[in-house]
Amino acid sequence: AQSVTQLDSQVPVFEEAPVELRCNYSSSVSVYLFWYVQYPNQGLQLLLKYLSGSTLVKGINGFEAEFNKSQTSFHLRKPSVHISDTAEYFCAASTGTASKLTFGTGTRLQVTL
């Protein structure tokens, strides 16, 4: 079985500041890792994914994440956030795309002026 932990339920940050959203996973087998963003009353949009290969993954909207196997982490980062980045962010893991996604509890990113 696998699990995903997002340590921060809310992260407040000022515009143009850097941000890191933390995600840790546990799994007895190799996993695929994902970060999604959700705006109010909308579905989930994929920011980036790690399937294999380079541990630094670049996604859309200037986000990136680093897969760290030894620390079982997949933290999401952005060097300079914008007001429009205010949303809910979910980390998720699966053992294959025919398998279900296991979600973390989500992190609310609140960007203010």
Partner 1 sequence: GAVVSQHPSWVICKSGTSVKIECRSLDFQATTMFWYRQFPKQSLMLMATSNEGSKATYEQGVEKDKFLINHASLTLSTLTVTSAHPEDSSFYICSASPGTVYGYTFGSGTRLTVV
Q: Which residues bind partner 1 (CB under 8 A)?
A: 32, 34, 36, 41-46, 49, 51, 90, 94, 96-98, 100-101, 103-106
Return the closest-CA partner of residue 89 out of 75, 72, 70: 75
Q: How far apart are CA 90 and CA 77, in angstroms?
A: 13
Q: Which helix (H) or strand (E) holds 25?
A: strand 24-26
The least CB distance from residue 97 to partner 1, in Å, is: 4
Q: Which is nearer to partner 1, 15 or 93 (CB)?
A: 93
Taking every pair of Cα atoms in the chain, the longest distance, rounded to a whole number of angstroms, is: 43
The least CB distance from residue 68 to partner 1, in Å, is: 20
Return the closest-CA partner of residue 22 out of 75, 63, 93: 75
Q: Which is nearer to partner 1, 36 or 74 (CB)?
A: 36
The least CB distance from residue 92 to partner 1, in Å, is: 8
